[in-house]
Amino acid sequence: MASFIQLLVSGLATGAIYALIAVGFTLLWQTSQTINFAQGEFVMLPAFFVLAAMNAGAPFWLAALIGIALSIVILGILFKVIIVDPMLKYGVLPLVISTIALSLFLKESAKDFYSSQAQPFPALVPPTDIHIFDAVVSTQSLLVLAIAILTVIALHILLNKTRIGRQMQATAQNPTLARILGIPVQRMVLYTFLLNAVLVAIASILVSPIYLAKFTNGETLGMAAFIAAIIGGFNEVRGAILGGVILGVLDNLSAAYISSQYRGAFPLIILIAVILFRPQGLLGRIEERTV
Amino acid sequence: MTRVGIIAVVVAAVAAIAAPFFLKPFGIFLISTWVVLTIAAIGLNLTLGYAGQISLAQGAFVGIGAYTVALLTPLGVPFFAAFFAAGLLCFAIGWVLGYPALRVQHHYLAFVTLAFTTLVFLVLRNEEWLTNGIYGITGTQRPILFGWKTNGARDFYFLCLGVLGLLSLATWWMLRSPWGRAFVALRENPIRALSLGLDTRLYTLMAFAIGSSLGGLSGALYAPLVQFIEPNSFALGLSFNLLLMVIVGGSGNFFGPFVGALVAVLLPEWLRVTQSYYLIIYAAAIMVMMAFCPSGLLGLAERASRALDGRRAVTKTSVPTEGAGP
């Protein structure tokens, strides 16, 4: 039972990180039909920005801010302006290919210009354990969980309670109508890219102390984000959060209780089951097919 | 096909037959790799270029084909029986995999195939009793065809080239048949195809399953070519590579995979000087190409030749107007 609680907490922590990545992924899809195959690499990269800033002498908190800022500029603005905008007129497929090439580009760049070795990444808190009943829970897991939950709450308030957030939602749901209502659609699309950049940067800072900063991190993280988004529902932010949490918990529990060799396989089996029996995802709406 | 096109194909075929007589063993190995990868890329082109679905499982099908041959031939199964078994197995798996994914629109096949490739990799790595895990399988025998031993590098290259020739003819014929034209209709306008009475889902599924079986056949040649197969060769990287080959050559263009595979095989050798930056350059080049010419290198060539033709047409028409002048 004690180990179950430990696994549950660390699963929730991983799941919360997955959720942040998946939310960004679905936001991009909703507002600009961008399926970002480089999303995993987007999470891998900010950790290297932070490390580079620290090598230049910045303290961790400043380096983290620099990492988030660089991420906004490079993974938000430049990604949209250089890669997405010129491609949109060709439809979804070429853009998918382009983001696949981008993921290769970012991965190899991190390897060649930084290091091919896994880099230790500073933890947000000193690694101590807290005893809750019988279970030993690391403070790191709890902090990750807390930050992720705060981020999700902030995101929820931004999207549902503010004017900009509601304009973004309107843009996602019906761009034509949004434009008629006087919403600056292009600016809203840009905001979602910025939001995605912030989310992946936060996820990167949270996940790197656990996994170490390594150029291959994006492969598993990107896959987790796709699967979380599909499980929850591709067109629902809440769905992506639910999908991420389910995935994180199941991943940890199945690795401990069923088979660690096939750890990577369980999320894939869930994915196939969801596609078979509930293709719109747990919380998703069925999209009308348009001519 | 235009006259220039026919000449280009004949020249390429002659070059492919003559090449091994001028190359060192490593060169022959490279062009053999090109032939084998082209077969897989032709299969993927059916799925991507004609049915308009992204598959990230072609590398996994190559792996399944390679392991099928590597496991069956030591048991005494003749090579060509194992070869066809690889194709049939991949056809069946492709069917089962595509069936649920194609129930849903959008890009679900991309995600399902992505998941499938990872699953196949895990099975190949973990089921040591069958696949020997990370240690791989060595020494797959090259076949003997009617007394012709294909042990030599050049002989085996010609065997692969022959298989490629037959499979391309079969694909060409299929795409010309009413059946294959349905694939094109599907890509151009799926809803129109549906309203004309085509069972779009069935045809998409067919394109994917046939494409997958070509992946398996390619793998069946890959195992005796390299004579050492291990799970990492068939991880996601190979599937991405094959996808990029089809795109670089020109997806939906019959000769696209030939060109794309050639670029993918030769470029790393030519860009040796750039060392590890090669993949960065390659990835950047693909992004630039997608932005300016998403129809690939052959699309670019077509555009160039059309521009030339256009200029010629203009000069032709302009001649009589000059003559008709004052």
- pLDDT (tens digit, 9 = 90+) per residue, A171-203? 888 888 888 988 888 888 899 999 999 999 999
Q: How far apart are CA A281 and CA A200, in angstroms?
A: 23
Give, as one character, the DSSP assignment of residue A135. Answer: E
Using alpha carbons, select from B202, B214, B221 the residue that is nearest to residue B95: B202
Would you call B100 and A97 a contact, using CB atoms and an 8 Å cutoff?
no
pLDDT at residue B168 tops 80:
yes
The two beta strands, B144-145 and A135-138, are unpaired
Residue B289 lies in a domain: no
Would you call B291 and A98 a contact, using CB atoms and an 8 Å cutoff?
yes
Would you call A83 and B287 a contact, using CB atoms and an 8 Å cutoff?
yes
Residue B305 lies in a domain: no
What residue has token string 């030749």?
B305
Would you call B115 and A271 a contact, using CB atoms and an 8 Å cutoff?
yes
Residue A47: pLDDT band (50, 70, 90) is: very high
Q: Chain B: give the shortest CA distance to residue A127, in Å.
A: 32
Mean pLDDT computed over B235-248: 88
Residue scoring higher pLDDT (A263 or A19): A19
- Give the chain A residue nearest B105 (alpha carbons): A289
> What count of CB pairs under 8 Å joins A to B?
106
pLDDT tens, B33-91? 999 999 999 999 998 888 778 888 999 999 999 999 999 988 888 888 999 999 999 99
C-alpha distances (whole Å) from B23 to each of A57, B16, B154 are 54, 11, 10
Would you call A223 and B243 a contact, using CB atoms and an 8 Å cutoff?
no
Mean pLDDT computed over B292-313: 78
The two beta strands, B228-229 and B137-138, are antiparallel
- Which of A88, A100, A219 to substitute to test the interface with B, most B CBs within 10 Å? A100
Residue B162 lies in a domain: yes
Domain count, chain B: 1
The C-alpha angle B29, B279, A28, rounded to 5 degrees, equals 130
Please name the member of A100, A112, A234 whose beta carbon is closest to the beta carbon of B276.
A112
Q: What is the pLDDT of residue A290?
A: 41
Q: What is the pLDDT of residue A186?
A: 87
- Give the chain B residue nearest A274 (alpha carbons): B100
Residue B278 lies in a domain: no
Q: How far apart are CA B53 and CA B260, in angstroms?
A: 18
Would you call B115 and A272 a contact, using CB atoms and an 8 Å cutoff?
yes
Residue A35: pLDDT band (50, 70, 90) is: confident
- Which of B287, B288, B289, B292 to substitute to test the interface with A, most A CBs within 10 Å? B287
Q: What is the pLDDT of residue A45?
A: 93
Give, as one character, the DSSP assignment of residue A72. Answer: I
Q: Identify all chain A residues contacting B276, using CB atoms and an 8 Å cutoff.
A: 108, 111-112
Q: Chain B: give the shortest CA distance to residue A107, in Å.
A: 9
Residue B284 lies in a domain: no
Q: How far apart are CA B247 and CA B244, in angstroms?
A: 5
- Give the chain A residue nearest B48 (alpha carbons): A93
- Give the chain A residue nearest B108 (alpha carbons): A275
Residue B86 lies in a domain: yes
Q: Chain B: give the shortest CA distance to residue A153, in Å.
A: 29
Residue scoring higher pLDDT (A255 or A73): A73
Residue A2: pLDDT band (50, 70, 90) is: low
Residue B205 lies in a domain: yes
The domain containing residue B108 runs over which residues?
19-234
ipTM value > 0.85: no
- Give the chain B residue nearest A280 (alpha carbons): B104
Q: Chain A: give the shortest CA distance to residue B274, in Å.
A: 12
Residue B251 lies in a domain: no
